[in-house]
Structure 1
């Protein structure tokens, strides 16, 4: 359950305007590869970012424009184009990776995003690129959140993953919590290690778990695109000013709660659409007015 302080922060005050809740930019891949980024963008907007823009290559503009309304759209002409967009300091959070691709142009986009020093979620293809390129790893900073599943974690942190997978010769056993803390220290940023027992850790060693097992199980999250929505939730909270670890913890809990609330038949598109009902319930229980 979220703390009363976090629930209070999820509410919106009457005197605030959209820019008080930040502007998240989600980068999309080329033609035919925009779905993952659109899911992330929808998640960022639903969780309360004041504005969300999806940035894509010029050739993919029409495809994305046909499917976006409340989410804004901008063309990104490579890394230089992204740099120009980021001259707007009101853009305070980035989501990079869903459907981005892993070629040289994608690598340069990740580099440009990291060099901007914005609060940044790196997911999916961006994690693959960081694992492949030491120069990108060196650009990670404390305002980043990495969101690997088990396979991505092993590619990013092979030595740590090998120790986690090794049989325990003596106790206590090396746990997923230990491994995620070590990964966060090594990367110098927050790591959200996904799974039924998601673990979130920051470079200072502070860590928490978001377990979705037994009575709290959320098996419906085992569906394509669910991780993209989680990345968007985190990006939206970063845009709203949440610290990286808190954004990751809050997003992970809400993500699972949406799946539990929706139940069987869940697909990724349902997660952002279920979130308003989950937030309404939380705010009502806490005696807070619903966000407007």
Structure 2
């Protein structure tokens, strides 16, 4: 669990300080992450987010999606639970502590409606990829519903389509009232309360398909464990960069999942 994130006088994020779960802890103490899946033949991104959330420390993870897509997930997932999307919208089943929507979800009206419905619940949420692209022609619709428990994770193109070319991360966070993590060689993170930081602990090998899906799941894991959205984004960005450095040449998003534990262990505080 996240104990502390350090930011130096120049606004550069340092290694987070993590604490291992207590000996008498329970999986429910570490939260439940819900990941929304895309349709059949577009399910891989959600699996990457789900496995990243579970590996980063969430106690439980469920992938929610259309029944046909869940059959596809079932061929790949064992420790991640599966449920139909309608059960999440109806509030059935387990309590959800953080949500990821966007990776591989597809754009369009259905995605917009789902994002808005989830935002109305004011649950901690990571909005990535298609969850942002779905609003590129109606950004104010997203901003009007956004809140300070949301983390938006655009790359430069998605950022420009939502906020414009002349806006920086701090201005964007103020406009959408959520935490903004602008991905790039240097990742910029800003919260609506004025906090800002940048992560320089990274690797060019992170520029690979699915890398952002892994980051979204890592952020959600910290949110589910009760971390402040800005600190969750900062910690996940640094650890994601550390995974990139450890993985080095030939790194793939699938392989990132197996490297996360080493990055976590290196940041564990001594008891």
Same fold (TM over 0.5): yes
Structural mapping, 1:154-173, within 5 Å: 154-158=160-164, 161=165, 163=166
| CA positional deviation for 1:225 | 0.2
Change beyond 3 A, Cα 1:49–1:102:
same
Asked whether the 8 Å contact 1:19–1:90 carries over to 2, the reply is: no
Asked whether the 8 Å contact 2:135–2:142 carries over to 1, the reply is: yes
> Quick one: distance in 2 between partners of 1:56 and 1:253?
30
Structure-1 residue corresponding to 2:184: 195
| Long gaps (5+) in structure 2 | 7-13
Cα RMSD (Å) of the superposition?
1.8
1:235 lines up with 2:220 in the alignment:
yes
2:187 aligns to what SS in structure 1? Answer: strand
Whichever of the two has the greater Rg, that structure is 1
1:131 lines up with 2:114 in the alignment:
no
> Quick one: distance in 1 between partners of 2:16 and 2:234?
10
> Quick one: distance in 1 between partners of 2:92 and 2:181?
29
Structure-1 residue corresponding to 2:257: 272
Structure-1 residue corresponding to 2:112: 107
Change beyond 3 A, Cα 1:105–1:82:
farther
> Which of 84, 94, 118 lines up with 2:99 in the alignment?
94
Asked whether the 8 Å contact 2:18–2:264 carries over to 1, the reply is: no
Asked whether the 8 Å contact 2:143–2:175 carries over to 1, the reply is: no
Number of residue-to-residue matches in the alignment: 260
| CA positional deviation for 1:88 | 4.9
Change beyond 3 A, Cα 1:130–1:87:
farther
Deviations 1:222-246 (A, max 9, x none): 1000000000000111001111000
> Which of 47, 55, 59 lines up with 2:64 in the alignment?
55
Asked whether the 8 Å contact 1:130–1:137 carries over to 2, the reply is: no
1:101 aligns to what SS in structure 2? Answer: coil
Q: TM-score, normalised by structure 1?
A: 0.85
Asked whether the 8 Å contact 1:117–1:143 carries over to 2, the reply is: yes
| CA positional deviation for 1:87 | 4.6
Structure with the larger helix share: 1
